[in-house]
Every structure is written in structure tokens, then in C-alpha cells.
């Protein structure tokens, strides 16, 4: 989802005061990155929307590209896009979140 907080933040099981202290799991962070990249997205946009530092985001992106969850493209500006495998990951993530509610 471009231009706002990702929908993954709404699917967590934590609410209220607990959210302030909640540390996202690596699965939550991956889901947020994949959600932001459903359309071609540059790294700076991902940084601001997912709220990670550059070094940490780079590690996540490298891992997800290697696993086939994100596509890396270029041609003037480097961009990232969620692959079909990444979309399948997001659907599974949502299914688990629904089961745990």
C-alpha cells in the first residue's frame, strides 16, 4: 500500500499501550516491506514507511531478493517490487493473523 502505514500494522495481535513497547518480529517486518513494494518502490520510500535504518533494511532486502520474494529493477533509479512468491507470503501471513485473532 503506497502513501501510508502498511495494512500489516493493523493485523498484529498487539493493541493499545502494548503497541508502544511491541518489537516487530522479522516476519512482521518482511510483510510490511512486501506490502510497500506491491508497486515499484524505491528504497527511500520503504525506509520511511517501514521505519527501519538503512543497514537493517538492506539486510532484509538482500534476503528477500535472494529468496525470490522481491524483484530488483533499475534503469535510472533502483526499485523493488513484490513477486508472485512474495504475494503468496503475504496471503499466508494474513491467514495466520486471522487464525490467531
Give the chain's domains with CATH numbers.
7-99 (1.10.10.10)
Q: Quote the pLDDT of residue 3.
A: 44
Q: What is the pLDDT of residue 23?
A: 84
- Helix, strand, coil percentages, rounded to 5, for the chain: 55, 10, 35
> What confidence score (pLDDT) does residue 19 get?
54
pLDDT for the residue numbered 20: 57
Q: Are 36 and 45 in contact (CB under 8 A)?
A: yes
Query: What is the model's pLDDT at position 16?
Result: 52
d(CA 21, CA 57): 21
Q: Is 33 exposed, middle or buried (0-12, 13-18, 19+ CB in 10 A)?
A: buried
Run means of pLDDT, 10 residues per run, the chain, 101 residues: 44 53 86 97 95 95 98 92 98 91 82
pLDDT of residue 97: 87
Span between the terminal Cα atoms of the chain, in Å = 22
Amino acid at each position: 500500500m503506497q502513501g501510508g502505514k502498511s495494512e500489516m500494522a493493523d493485523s498484529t495481535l498487539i493493541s493499545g499501550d502494548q503497541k508502544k513497547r511491541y518489537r516487530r518480529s522479522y516476519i512482521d517486518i518482511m510483510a510490511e516491506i512486501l506490502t510497500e513494494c506491491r508497486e515499484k518502490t524505491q528504497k527511500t520510500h520503504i525506509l520511511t514507511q517501514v521505519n527501519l535504518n538503512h543497514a537493517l533494511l538492506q539486510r532484509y532486502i538482500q534476503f528477500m531478493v535472494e529468496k525470490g520474494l522481491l524483484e530488483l529493477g533499475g534503469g535510472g533509479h533502483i526499485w523493488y517490487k513484490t513477486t508472485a512468491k512474495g504475494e503468496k507470503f503475504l496471503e499466508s501471513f494474513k491467514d495466520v493473523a486471522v487464525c490467531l485473532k
